[in-house]
Amino acid sequence: MKIRKEVTVALAIVTAIVIGMIMLFSQGYSSMESYASILKYSLSTAIGRANTINRFVFLLIAGASAAMALGAGASNLGQFGQLLMGAMTSTLIGIYVNLPSTVLIPLMIIGGVAAGALWAAIAAAGKKLFGMNEFIITLMLNFIADYFVRYLISTPLKDPGSQWPASRVVSENGILPAIGLIDSVVFLMIAVYIAAVYFVRKSRMGYEFRVMGYNSLFARVGGCDTNKNFFRAMLLSGALAGLLGTMMIVGATQQHRVISGLGENFANDGLMLSIVAGNNIGGVFVYAILFAILQSGATGMQLDTGVPSEFTTMLIAITVLSVVAFRSYSGIFIDKLIAWKKTKSLEVEK
């Protein structure tokens, strides 16, 4: 089964690449040169590798946040709102709390994680208390968080020196250092991701999450407290999104302030990562690398070949569709092939 899964994923990715090449060729671009430029600007130079690694960890946590909920059968589509609330909370702490960095940064992280979890808890409470659909609630909460943050950074918390809506920059004590070209948040977020994977795969609660994701009725009949686990999955998903928002403030390579639309692309990419990984938090890792390479090399590809950088967004979308399609139909095709071979062998024996 594992080999079948790996072959399916490889075929899907190759198919997506071939489709991308055909589309480039049809528009008069050199497909080989375009793909070579992506690899060149994302992996062949020190700056390119650093940019890819820095982007990779943000995609990794975004995907883990989505997979934590979706893998447990909870439709949390509110990563953007949870991310914003985490970023806004940590920014407020970084601006108004005067403490040394050894205390301030952990306080900002705790505040951001708590804010993200609480924003997700609103949707979880809506379903538990009123039977509301968390799919709709989380989507609506994204708009509320977005407009609320836009209001804050446009009037009461706007940086007087900025021409555009933006909060003030956090205190220097609230910014993590860089290690060469690598943002130190890389190590923190990888550690969090490893802990999240371990939790889902090895803990009892993580096992119950996975059973709920496969079949909630079976989980309930089997003795899982599905209501509590739903709430817990939403909280953990929101906490990871809040952490992501906080890292976009405290990270050495970040802007250290809240701006309009902060992290929206990461939130959207996180959902795609979860879907393409089959809502398997461990499977997010490989696809996050692929997404990071494509996105980091997009601008360089445009400079070298004239191919619009948006091509990589389209290529990611094709990859997602291709993997999902192969995953859905490969099993059926292989089973039919096995059945056909058995039928032929029986006919030969007769």
CA 263 – CA 84 distance, rounded (Å) = 7
User: 55-306 sits in which CATH class?
Assistant: mainly alpha
CA 80 – CA 92 distance, rounded (Å) = 18
Is the pLDDT reported for residue 107 higher than 70?
yes
327-330 long-range contacts, Cβ below 8 Å, gap at least 24? 327/8, 327/9, 327/12, 327/278, 330/4, 330/8, 330/11
CA 119 – CA 139 distance, rounded (Å) = 12
Q: What amino acid occupies position 186? A: V
Is the pLDDT reported for residue 350 higher than 70?
no
Name the β-bridge partners of 179: 182
Domain ranges of the chain: 1-24+308-340, 55-306
Sign of the torsion angle spanned by Cα atoms 54, 57, 63, 65: negative
Name the β-bridge partners of 166: 259
Give me the pLDDT at residue 301, please.
94
CA 216 – CA 224 distance, rounded (Å) = 9
pTM of the entire structure? 0.92
What are the pLDDT digits (tens) for 58-92? Answer: 999 999 999 999 999 999 999 999 999 999 999 99
What are the pLDDT digits (tens) for 7-27? Answer: 778 888 888 999 999 999 998
134, 74 Cβ separation under 8 angstroms: yes
| Three-state DSSP state, 178 | strand
For residue 325, give the H/E element and its range.
helix 310-349
CA 205 – CA 198 distance, rounded (Å) = 11
Q: Radius of gyration over alpha carbons of the chain, in Å?
A: 22
CA 160 – CA 158 distance, rounded (Å) = 6
CA angle 334, 339, 345 (to 5 degrees): 125
**How many residues are listed for the chain in this entry?**
350
Is the pLDDT reported for residue 349 higher than 80?
no
pLDDT-derived band at 330 (thresholds 50, 70, 90) equals low
